[in-house]
Amino acid sequence: MRDPRYDVLFEPVRIGPVIAKNRFYQVPHCCGMGHAYPKSIAAIRAMKAEGGWAVVCTEETEIHHTSDISPALEGRLWDDSDIPAFIKKTDAIHQHGALAGVELCHNGLHAPNMYSREVPLAPSDTMVDWGAPINARAMDKTDIANMRRWYVNAAKRAQQAGFDIVYVYAGHDMTLLQHFISKRHNQRTDEYGGSLTNRLRLFREVLAETKEAIGDTCAIAVRLCVDELLGKDGLTAQGEGYDIVAGMAEEPDLWDVNISGWENDSQTSRFSQEGYQEQYISFVKSLTSRPVVGVGRYTSPDTMVRLVKSGVMDLIGAARPSIADPFLPNKISEGREEDIRECIGCNICVASDNTSTPIRCTQNPTMGEEWRKDWHPEIIPPIKTREQFLIIGGGPSGLEAARALAARGCDVTLAEACEHWGGRVTSEAALPGLAAWGRVRDWRVGQLEKMSNVEMFLASKMVADDAFSFEAENIVVATGSKWQRGGFNASTILTPDDIMAGNLPGLAEKIIVYDVESFYMGGLIAEKCALEGANVTYVTPVAMVSAWTVNTLEQHRIQKRLLELGVNIICHQEVKPDLTLSCVFTGVTQKLECDTFIPVIMRQPLDSLWQELNQHADAGSKTIARIGDCLAPTTIAGAVYAGHKFAREFGKIIDPDISPFKREH
C-alpha cells in the first residue's frame, strides 16, 4: 500500500492538450541504439511505461539529413519513411497508458554529416565541434527559412507517428537552436544575431510554428539550458538563462530545464550529489504557470515530494534513475520503496551512447536486453525443477546470481570469505567519491535477506573439499579477481587492492602510479594517495589521465582534480621493468625517482578454486561454473550482468554456433 505522503506524486498533470497520469517523467535520453535498433528501442521505452512512468520520451531525433551525427546512433525523422519505426515506439508506450514524447533536434555545428556528406550548418562560420576536422558554414536567410520548414515538417511527422509531446530542443550545447542563442557561437550582425532578442528569434519562430502546426493535439515542450556553468561567457541562471524563461514564460506547454553541456547535465556521482541541478533551475517555476520538469538523479521519493511541494518542479524528470529501475514509479505506488534499484551515477549507460553500442546499466542487467533476449527487470521465469546452488563469492556477480536464481525458485547458499558482502564493490565504494556505488551491494543484499530460500554466510572461506562436502547439485565460483603487480623491479610495489585495503604509502614518499588500464582506477589511486599527503606522479602511455572516462563524461574533472591536488602528470610514457620511463613515440628514456610503485595495469582472475573443483568434476555436483571477474575481469556492470546471465540461462541448452539473442535486420 502506498504511503500517503507520496500521493502528490501520483496526481495527474495537464501538459497543453494532453494529461500525464502522474508526475514521473522519463526525459529524453540516448540508448546507443537509435535508428539502427528500432525494436530494441521500442522495448526499452515500453518497459518504462509498464513501470509506471507517465511520460516516456525518445532520444534526440534528427529532423533532417543536414543534422547527421553518425557514427552516434540517435533517432531519425528525416522523411516519411522513418515514421513506421516511431509508430512501433508510440504504440508500445501507449499500451501502458503513458504519453510518448519526441525530442526533435538539428545538431548544427555538432553535426559533422559524416554519413550524409552535407556541409554542416551553423549561425556563423565555425569549426564543427565533434567528429571531424571540418567547418560549418554560416546560414543565410534561405537556410533559416528552410530550417524553420524542416522543424515543422518533422513535427508533423512526429504527430503522424503518434507522439503526444513534441520538443523544441535548445540544450546541451549540441543543438542549432542553442547555438543561435549562444553569444559564443552566434556572431551574426543581422536580426538573428547581436542582442538576446535577436539571438532568440529563430528559437521563438520554430516554437510558434511548431505549436501552430500540431499544438491542437500535441503538447509542445521546450528543453532549455538555463546555465552553462561558464559564468559571463555563457547562459546563466542569474543572467540570460533567467531572461529567456521570463520573456517566454507562457509560450511552450512545458519547460524541461537543465544545465549544459551534457557533461554537466549528467555528472557522475563521483563529482556531484543527488539534486545538484536544483540551485540552477529552481527559479523557473516562479516565472511560469506551465508545468516544469527537471532532473538531478533523483531516487528518493521524499526528495521528489519536497521538489513538488516547494514549487521547484511539477514533474520529476529522470534519465539514469529510469534506466537503473524502470519500475521506480510503480514501486513507490505499491509501497515498495526499499525495492528500488537506485542509480549509482557511474555513467556506464552514457558510455554506451558515446561508443555507439547498446545501452548497459550497472544496477539493471536487463537494460538493453528487453527485446533481443526477452528479459524483464522484474520478472524472471521459474526454473522447471527446483535445484540447490552453492555460490562461492559475495561480490557483484555472486550476489546477482544468487538473487536471480532464488527468484527462479532455486535453493541458494551464498558463502563469502570476507566479513562483508560486496567484494570489489565494497572496496571501490570506499575510494573518494564512490560511496553511491555501494548501492550495487546494498540492493542485492536487501533483496536476498527477504528470500526464504537463501542462506548467506560471511567469513566462510571455502576450499574444494568444503564445496564438495556441501553436496550441492550446482557449484558456482564467483571469487573475483586481483590487481597484478607486474614484473617491475621496485623496492616497494603496491597494487590498488593494497591501497583499498588501507596499506597506504608514507606521507613523505615519492609515488608513481602507472596507469595502463585508463579507466577510473588509476586516477582514483593517485587522488587517494595525494589526499593522504604523498608526492604523487601519475604516468600513462596515452594522452590523458583516465582516458576511457571520456566516455563517462568525467575525464576533464578527474584530470582537473589531480592537478589541483598537485599530482605530477606524465603522458605518453611507458614504464620499463627497471622503472625507466620511455617515450612511446621516440623511445627516449628518463629515470624517475620512486619510493613506491603502484601499477594499474590489469586484473587477474582468482580462479584457483574453480581450477581445483574442475579437476574433480565427478565428485557429485552436476554443475561447476565460474562467473564474473573469476572468469574474466570486467566492469562492475559486466560482473552483475554475468551473474544475471548465468541465472537466466541455467537449464537452457545453449548452442555455441547460434547467436543467443535476436538480431535486428
Chain segment 9-57, per-residue pLDDT in tens = 999 999 999 999 999 999 999 999 999 999 999 999 999 999 999 999 9
pLDDT band at 486 (very low <50, low <70, confident <90, very high): confident
Sheet with 573-575: list strands edge to edge: 573-575, 580-583, 589-591
Q: Quick one: average pLDDT of 541-551?
A: 98
Q: Which helix (H) or strand (E) holds 524?
A: helix 520-531
HSE-up of residue 234 (Cα within 13 Å, Cβ side):
17
Using CA atoms, how far residue 202 sits from 120, 199, 208, 262, in Å, is 18, 7, 10, 23
pLDDT of the residue at 623:
87
Provide, rounded to the nearest whole percent, the portion of the chain with pLDDT above 90. 92
What would the pLDDT profile of 531-541 be if each residue is shown by its tens digit?
999 999 999 99
What would the pLDDT profile of 320-344 be if each residue is shown by its tens digit?
999 999 999 999 999 999 999 999 9
pLDDT of the residue at 185:
96
Read off the pTM: 0.96
- Bridge-based pairing of strands 411-415 and 388-392 is parallel
CA dihedral of residues 162, 164, 170, 176 (deg, nearest 10): 20
**Mean pLDDT rounded to a whole number for the chain:** 96
Contacts of residue 608, defined as CB under 8 A and 6 or more positions apart, other chains included, come to none
DSSP string covering 446-472:
HHHHT-TTEEEESS----HHHHHHTT-
Whether pLDDT at 259 is above 90: yes
Whether pLDDT at 113 is above 90: yes
Whether pLDDT at 620 is above 80: no
**Alpha-carbon span 475 to 393, nearest angstrom:** 11
What would the pLDDT profile of 54-102 be if each residue is shown by its tens digit?
999 999 999 999 999 999 999 999 999 999 999 999 999 999 999 999 9
DSSP string covering 612-630:
HHHHTTTSS-SEEEE-GGG
Q: Is pLDDT larger for residue 633 or for residue 470? A: 633
pLDDT band at 665 (very low <50, low <70, confident <90, very high): confident
Cα 55 versus chain centre, distance: 19
pLDDT of the residue at 507:
65
**Alpha-carbon span 504 to 431, nearest angstrom:** 13
Q: 496 with 427: CB under 8 angstroms?
A: no
Q: Quick one: average pLDDT of 281-308?
A: 97
pLDDT of the residue at 471:
81
**Alpha-carbon span 596 to 575, nearest angstrom:** 14
Whether pLDDT at 617 is above 90: no
Q: 571 with 543: CB under 8 angstroms?
A: yes
Q: Quick one: average pLDDT of 387-397?
A: 97
Say which amino acid occupies 396.
P
pLDDT band at 548 (very low <50, low <70, confident <90, very high): very high
What would the pLDDT profile of 207-228 be if each residue is shown by its tens digit?
999 999 999 999 999 999 999 9
Q: Which residue has the cell 521465469?
A: 381
Using CA of residue 529, residue 534, residue 539, residue 544, what is the dihedral sign? positive
Whether pLDDT at 619 is above 80: no
Please tell me the chain's helix, strand, coil percentages from 3-state DSSP, rounded to the nearest 5: 35, 20, 45
Q: Report the catalytic residues.
A: 30, 169, 172, 265
Q: Quick one: average pLDDT of 489-500?
A: 93
Beta bridge partners of 477: 392, 626
pLDDT band at 505 (very low <50, low <70, confident <90, very high): confident
pLDDT of the residue at 509:
81
What would the pLDDT profile of 354-387 be if each residue is shown by its tens digit?
999 999 999 999 999 999 999 999 999 999 888 9
Q: Which residue has the cell 604523487?
A: 536
**Runs of H (alpha helix) within 294-408:** 301-309, 320-324, 328-333, 348-354, 396-407
In order of their start, the domains of the chain are 4-354 (3.20.20.70), 388-482+605-649 (3.40.50.720), 485-601 (3.50.50.60)
pLDDT of the residue at 84:
96
**Runs of H (alpha helix) within 100-239:** 141-160, 176-181, 196-199, 201-214
Q: Quick one: average pLDDT of 161-170?
A: 98
**Grid cell of 322 as nine digits:** 529510469
**Alpha-carbon span 566 to 486, nearest angstrom:** 27
**Alpha-carbon span 186 to 138, nearest angstrom:** 9
